[in-house]
Amino acid sequence: MERQLKRKSLASIMGIVVLVGAGGFIAVRHARADGAKSAEPAAASQVKIDNFTFTAQSITVRVGTEVTWVNRDDIPHTVVSQDGAFKSKALDTDDKFSFKFSQPGTYHYFCSIHPKMTAEVVVK
Amino acid sequence: MNPTDRDEIVREHDHNHNRDGVDRRGFLKCMAWAGAGALCVMQGGVLTSYSLGETAKKKMNGELSFVQLSDSHMGFNKPANPDVTATLQVALDRIKALQTQPEFLIHTGDVTHLAKPEQFDTVAQMLKGTPGQDIFYVPGEHDMIDDNGKGYLDRFGKNTQGAGWYSFEKKGVHFIGLVNVMDLKAGGLGTLGPEQLEWMEKDVKHLSHSTPIVVFAHIPLWTVYEDWGWGTQDSGQALSYLKKFGSVTVLNGHIHQTMQKVEGNVTFHTACSTAFPQPQPGAAPGPGPMKVPAEQLRTLLGITDVNYVRGKHSLAVIDSNLA
């Protein structure tokens, strides 16, 4: 028993040391990140527009997630929900559009300039 | 792409005695010619193409001559062509240098890149200085961005119907400007819509069968390449109204390269952009701007000149590049 306790406390002490170490590291990283640019919220997801294609074509996210589209093409595109839930302005090269999904469901969307470009967001 | 090639194409057109005026070899040559500006000469109802280099030198014999400009994409400034104003100016200078001055210009859309007021104004201002005459526009999808075409229609929509369609007569030729870039549906191609189709049916009903018809619209009215949306889903309906006519010429833009096809009484032709080339169908992962070495760019941009000769079956269409 005594030996076991000793081992346990040793293990916890080591664990604390590791945690403190990691915590210190995380704190430093955060400070740096804050100094440069605020970190993206954890519940975020990105869709790239590349070569007239939404990538990925289908993403699944949790309710409350903010999805950001970024246009990597030399040609403007739009992000338009087929049921009218969201509609971006024309996104020129590197422009972004974000929408927070607060209701579950499957959202089909397309580029209203190049309607062959279609994709979906599944919100669970 | 050199003058000799162009000569040969003209010769092939001249020597072709089929009613359609284009044989397969000629068609493929036209494809290889992609990017050249063109003069369209309407000769007896069939469109015949000549290079602008050629037409600048000789006088065309026709009752009516006009030039098609397309896809000036004012505001585009990416590496494929950082100065679309300069290349549009070269195109306009070529038009001014033509032996036979066109009576008017048509612009088959994507006047601007982002439908910004200053982009429309720049093009309108530059085209004002061209010889003559009226300029007839139809919108491209880029001219409809964000405001559903309001900026376009405010400037160019006078005397048009609906989203900007209209018709007019010039020397016995009936011209129809169509809009196939409004209310595009997910997964679909270009669309004319029932209201415009109904108008078009009425518009041509009273015309005699011998009236030469020229239809112009931004997105091709034949399916060039469905995967890239290069077609118009209800164009079949529009073309069915034109079956009774002996000579129908369809002029489109959108695909930034020249292509020609003949189907019965209808000759289809697409024009080059004055801004940047796009890849041949399926030749790239997507239809984005084709980046080419600076010295090649102008060989892939161009204009189209059209000439109509009464009593013949086709218009002569001449593409020529800006090199």
B188 to A115: CB separation less than 8 angstroms, yes or no:
yes
Alpha helices (runs of H) in B116-171, residue ranges in sequence order: 117-128, 150-156
Calculate how close chain A gets to B11, using CA atoms only, in Å: 38
Which pLDDT value is given to residue B48? 53
Which pLDDT value is given to residue B276? 95
The Cα A118–Cα A76 span in angstroms is 15
Chain B residues 176-215 with a CB less than 8 Å from chain A: 184-189
Which pLDDT value is given to residue A16? 41
Q: What is the pLDDT of residues A20-64, one digit of tens each?
A: 434 333 333 333 333 334 444 445 699 999 999 999 999 999 999
Chain B residues within 8 A of A51 when measuring between CB atoms:
285-286, 288
The Cα B138–Cα B152 span in angstroms is 9
ipTM score: 0.78
Mutate to test the interface with B, among A108, A116, A121 (most CBs of B within 10 A): A116
A83 touches chain B (CB under 8 A): no
**0.90 exceeded by pTM:** no
Which pLDDT value is given to residue B41? 54
Residue B115 Ramachandran class (φ > 0 left, ψ -120 to 50 alpha, else beta)? left
Which pLDDT value is given to residue B17? 31
Share of chain A above pLDDT 70, in %: 65
- Which residues neighbour A82 within 8 Å (Cβ) at sequence distance 6 or greater? A108, A109, A110, B186
Calculate how close chain B gets to A73, using CA atoms only, in Å: 7
Which pLDDT value is given to residue A66? 95
pLDDT of A13 > 80? The answer is no
Q: What is the pLDDT of residues B92-128, one digit of tens each?
A: 999 988 888 899 999 999 999 999 999 999 999 999 8
Low-confidence ranges of chain B (pLDDT < 50): 1-37, 43-46, 51
Q: What is the pLDDT of residues B10-59, one digit of tens each?
A: 222 333 333 333 333 333 333 323 233 455 555 444 455 554 555 555 55
Which pLDDT value is given to residue B133? 65
The Cα B107–Cα B302 span in angstroms is 13
Tell me how far CA of residue A36 lies from CA of A32, A39, A41, A68, A70, in angstroms: 6, 9, 15, 20, 20
- CA-based angle A110:B141:B65, to the nearest 5? 155
- Tell me which residue of B107, B38, B40, B36 sits closest to B71, measured CA to CA: B107
